Amino acid sequence: MVLLHVKRGDESQFLLQAPGSTELEELTVQAARVYNGRLKVQRLCSEMEELAEHGVFLPPNMQGLTDDQIEELKLKDEWGEKCIPSGGSVFKKDDIGRRNGQAPNEKMKQVLKKTVEEAKAIISKKQVEASVCVTMEMVKDALDQLRGAVMIVYPMGLPPYDPIRMEFENKEDLSGTQAGLSVIKESEAQLWWAAKELRRTKKLADYVGRNEKTKIIVKIQQVSTWFNTSVSFVICFQTDKNLRC
């Protein structure tokens, strides 16, 4: 098996294994899925840490408003009244105004936090140092653990607009966000090695040879729109007194 150390830019991401006979179409998609899957786990972990501290997401029309503004506009958090954590809640105001402040009790809070740490460890960049390959099965396992913890703490579920629920249902809207810029579309993913694009129409062995013990560093990126644009260049040069193009 060829060992691929996948990077984004100069930043280490994860290890991937594949036979030299693997079609690069398949390998590129696989690398993009693991890369994006790790990002999904990271986004969920970040939001679940906030869930543990400040409870569920407020309705979009209530976020960022003061208590006086909410009262004046006669707004009501109906989902917040339904989505009560197991064992009751403890009020802890969210200064950012995104979550309703009805946090889980300490026991349930630790369920969320412990699971978050375990999920982070599964997809951690430290797995590279430990020579552990990250697979989609491992990513799915991390997602399942996170989903299970949320179900334990919030058996009634989360509001449909809570980013955690949206992530689990694959309905997340990342448009206009920094997180969205990090995602690589599978159809536009590229792998590069030794300053060469590993073209999807070829096999891995076409580039690295038949040595199955080869280890290479590949960089994953999304096809730049610059490369998708047909541009014609006219080169002009001057000879004596005449300008020719």
Round the average pLDDT of the chain to a whole number and report it.
91
Reply yes or no on whether the pLDDT at 233 is more than 90: no
- Using CB atoms within 10 Å of the CB of residue 60, give its burial: 0 to 12 exposed, 13 to 18 middle, 19+ buried: exposed
Reply yes or no on whether the pLDDT at 241 is more than 60: no
| Average pLDDT estimate for 27-35 | 98
Extended strands (E) in 11-162? 11-18, 89-91, 102-104
Taking the C-alpha atoms of residue 172 and residue 181, their distance in angstroms, rounded to an integer, is 14
Pairing of strands 215-222, 89-91: unpaired
Helix, strand or coil for residue 212? coil
pLDDT tens, 152-170? 999 999 999 999 999 999 9
- % pLDDT > 70, the chain: 91
Predicted pLDDT of residue 237: 43
Enumerate the β-bridge partners of residue 242.
239
Within 8 A by CB and 6+ apart from 56, the residues are: 79, 80, 83, 99, 100, 102, 154, 158, 159, 162
Predicted pLDDT of residue 227: 42
Extended strands (E) in the chain? 2-8, 11-18, 89-91, 102-104, 189-193, 196-197, 215-222, 237-239, 242-244
pLDDT tens, 181-198? 999 999 999 999 999 999
Domain ranges of the chain: 2-222
What is the separation of C-alpha 125 from the centre of its chain, rounded to a whole number of angstroms? Answer: 13
Reply yes or no on whether the pLDDT at 59 is more than 90: yes
The CA distances from residue 215 to 2, 40, 197, 223, in Å, are 6, 27, 17, 24
| Average pLDDT estimate for 66-76 | 90
Reply yes or no on whether the pLDDT at 37 is more than 90: yes
Enumerate the β-bridge partners of residue 82.
none
Reply yes or no on whether the pLDDT at 180 is more than 70: yes
- Using CB atoms within 10 Å of the CB of residue 236, give its burial: 0 to 12 exposed, 13 to 18 middle, 19+ buried: exposed
pLDDT tens, 218-229? 999 999 744 443
pLDDT tens, 74-126? 999 999 889 999 999 999 999 999 999 999 999 999 999 999 999 999 999 99
| Average pLDDT estimate for 1-6 | 96
pLDDT band at 67 (very low <50, low <70, confident <90, very high): confident
- Using CB atoms within 10 Å of the CB of residue 31, give its burial: 0 to 12 exposed, 13 to 18 middle, 19+ buried: buried
